[in-house]
Chains A and B, each alone.
Chain A
Amino acid sequence: DVVMTQSPLSLPVTLGQPASISCRSSQSLVHSDGNTFLNWFQQRPGQPPRRLIYMVSKRDSGVPDRFSGSGSGTDFTLKISRVEAEDVGVYYCMQGAHWPTWTFGQGTKVEIK
């Protein structure tokens, strides 16, 4: 299986400051069709996960534009330009390139300092 490694696993941030989460895969996430299937999910306390970003950098409808995704191949990043209180939660990257087993990163817990 493809192993997804996130860092850091804990990220204390100051309100209004930027935050960045790294995700590395053990294999390239470029699919045979040429697309790169890397996703980011947010899970607020007590809630199911919610997708923020798909195909590396495409934001879901309703996701604030302070969230952005970037990267290629095996290295990817989720950035929050200015952290707000509602951004507290755990963030997961997930690869959807290698069927049939899609895999998640360990999760990064974002909290306010």
Chain B
Amino acid sequence: EVQLVESGGGLVQPGGSLRLSCVASGFIFSNFHMHWVRQAPGKGLEYVSAISPNGDDTVYANFVEGRFTISRDNSKNTMFLQMGSLRAEDMAVYYCVRHDAYGSYDYWGQGTLVTVSS
């Protein structure tokens, strides 16, 4: 059974940093692109970042503006999102998602909540 489990969310002050993790199981992690997608409270879904299977290629949404870094450790079946210079508008549930072969997201984690507030 495919499972994606996020952790690392919490309360952080504006301008602060946070590192999210996503542990994957039930599939060959190193074969798949992985993404982060976020959802602000009461709002819709928004693509954040993506990483290639071997970690060599990364992509970010325009709003990231160099503040976030996506990475992965295939030996530990884990993906990360290092977030810095956090703003109020970054407050959201961050989902770890698997990118399948059909231009889609076939599996989602339960999400981890990031709260940015003083």
Contact = CB atoms under 8 A, between A and B. Distances in A.
Interface of A: 1, 31, 35, 37, 39, 41, 48-51, 54-55, 58, 60, 90, 92, 94-97, 100-107
Given A37-B103, A51-B104, A54-B104, A100 B110 contact: no
A104 B45 contact: yes
Interface of B: 35, 44-47, 50, 59, 61-62, 95, 100, 102-106, 108-111
A17 B100 CA distance: 33
B46 A104 contact: yes
B27 to A, nearest CB: 15
A60 B104 CA distance: 12
B106 A51 contact: yes
Given A92-B45, A100-B59, A54 B111 contact: no
Contacts of A41: 45, 105
Contacts of B95: 48-49
Contacts of B46: 104
B95 to A, nearest CB: 6
A11 B46 CA distance: 22
